[in-house]
Amino acid sequence: MTISRRTLLRNGALGASGLIAAPYFFSRTALAAEEIEVGVLFSQTGGLSIIEKSLADATLMAISEINASGGVLGKQVKAIVEDGASDPKTYNEKASKLVIRDRVPTVFGSYTSASRKAVLPVFEKRNSMYFYPTYYEGYECSKNVVYTGAVPNQQLSNFIPWIIKNLGKKKFFIVGSNYIYPREMAKVCKILIEQNGAEWVADEYLELGHSEWGAMVNKIKSSGCDVVLSNVVGDSVVAFYREFKNQGLSHETLPICATVTSEIEIAAMGPEYAVGSYTSFPYFMAIDTPVNHAFIERYRKYVNDPKAVTHHALESSYFQVFLWKQAVEKAGEATPDAIREGVRGQEYDAPNGHVKVDADNLHTYLTPRIAEWQADGQGKIVDAYPEPVIPLPYVAYGETADNLFCTAKGLDTAKL
């Protein structure tokens, strides 16, 4: 069902133009008056497709809902879908195709920081807009990106002190996949760990997609740590948690506390491997509100799977399309410059709660939460902030709400 829907989105307009035998340039001109084209760029294949297929589905679901309610500025939204194939080089090529050949003013896409970094030059050089839905390490300030996932002060600034105070853990083993996100998150972790009177005993990495975790789990066992801080990404999460339990380790005594593990990885590994472990995210399926319940029901119906799970990056993929819609409608047009200005300060009642795009740094106000994973594969929310907090992408480098490094004027490098 999903494949045929995407094929229809991608090829429907060409089929229609073929009926009247119109030349290519004419068909695109005619369509321009009736449709607004956007790019949807996620991995449909490769190791990261375990996550990214769901992000594509959530994006297309939002587009379908917008179209069903009348579209944007009276026009239907047409998605041009491309596969990043879990490969940064492919991401760059597909982003170039969308921006240069298809001439879309906006692309929704990517999951990892490696893929975001791979496409960023394309959007900055061609002045197109990129909506990025994933929690990430911060340390970025681009006028061509709207960031709708959590940054470290919305994911770690609450998590590390909570682990130390509420779990009584003082010796952290930091482990991650070997690329920019886990390494930068580890930097923030170390600062917060030391600031809160604890210590880190190791900082280790395995390649993205690595499936042999025996030696690493042995290191954890012999390290003397009392908690594991995991920045492991993708299908490696499944292999890591399974090996952790297979070697006799228990989350009750040595919990994994993760910045990445979500409902979708829990479903893939089997919840029995994660019971008693923790994750910090702004969104969990367990959020008990009518808005979230309705969102989950609609998503399951859209993908035709009554057991499908939702998760933070998926939810951000969904609500960011509505922020884009509001920006276009405010600006009165879908050009990149208009969208950039129109999206500043946009607010929306998302499944995770109220969100707002910061007018300075184009990151999003979100509500930090911590959940403990249960036997049914769901997270029990054990801590939540009372309201959304300002996004501070440079918090690890001294940025505060009263001293912003990234503003509408750009990055103040003198503050770094």
pLDDT digits over 221-234, tens only? 999 999 999 999 98
Cα Dmax for the chain: 72
Q: 367, 388, 405: which is the final residue of a domain?
A: 367
Which uninterrupted H or E stretch holds 364?
A: strand 364-365
| Model confidence at 8: pLDDT above 80 | no
pLDDT at 25 over 70: no
CATH code of 146's domain: 3.40.50.2300
Q: Give the model confidence (pLDDT) of 129-175 as tens digits.
A: 999 999 999 999 999 999 999 999 999 999 999 999 999 999 999 99
Backbone angles phi, psi at 281, to 5 degrees: -150, 155
- C-alpha closest to that of 232 among 263, 265, 203, 260: 260
Instruction: Judge contact between 163 and 383, C-beta under 8 A.
Output: no
For the chain, the domain total comes to 2
Final residue belonging to a domain, choices 334, 352, 367? 367
Do 161 and 143 lie in one domain? The reply is no
Cα distances (Å, whole numbers) of residue 179 to 137, 147, 235, 348: 11, 19, 15, 32
CA angle 150, 157, 108 (to 5 degrees): 5
Q: Counting every residue, how long is the chain?
A: 416
140 and 14, same domain (yes or no) = yes
Same domain (yes/no): 331, 410:
no
C-beta of residue 232 within 8 angstroms of C-beta of residue 240: yes
Q: Which residues form the domain of 40?
A: 2-150+290-367
374 and 320 housed in the same domain:
no
Q: Rg of the chain's alpha carbons, rounded to an integer?
A: 21
User: Measured at the alpha carbon of residue 290, what is the angle toward residues 286 and 292, in degrees to the nearest 5?
Assistant: 45
Both 169 and 52 in one domain: the answer is: no
Residue 47: predicted pLDDT: 83
In this structure, are 36 and 131 located in the same domain? yes
What is the structure's pLDDT at 235? 87
Strand pairing category for 227-231 and 199-206: unpaired
Beta strands in 91-177 (DSSP E): 106-109, 129-132, 145-147, 171-177
Indicate if 208 and 270 belong to the same structural domain: yes
* Residue 242 shares a structural domain with residue 379: yes
Together in a domain, 209 and 86: no
Is pLDDT of 106 > 50?
yes
Same domain flag for 240 and 310: no
Asked if residue 267 and residue 398 are part of one domain, the reply reads: yes
pLDDT tens figures, 296-347: 999 999 999 999 999 999 999 999 999 999 999 999 999 999 999 999 999 9
Residue 230 to residues 189, 233, 279, Cα–Cα distance (Å): 10, 9, 9
pLDDT attached to residue 33 = 57
Last residue of a domain, one of 330, 346, 367: 367
* pTM (two decimals): 0.89
Residues 133 and 179 in one domain: no
Exposed e or buried b for every residue in 261-289, given b needs 16+ CB within 10 A?
bbbbbbbebeeebbbebbbbbbbbbebee
Note the Cα 206 to chain centre separation in Å: 21
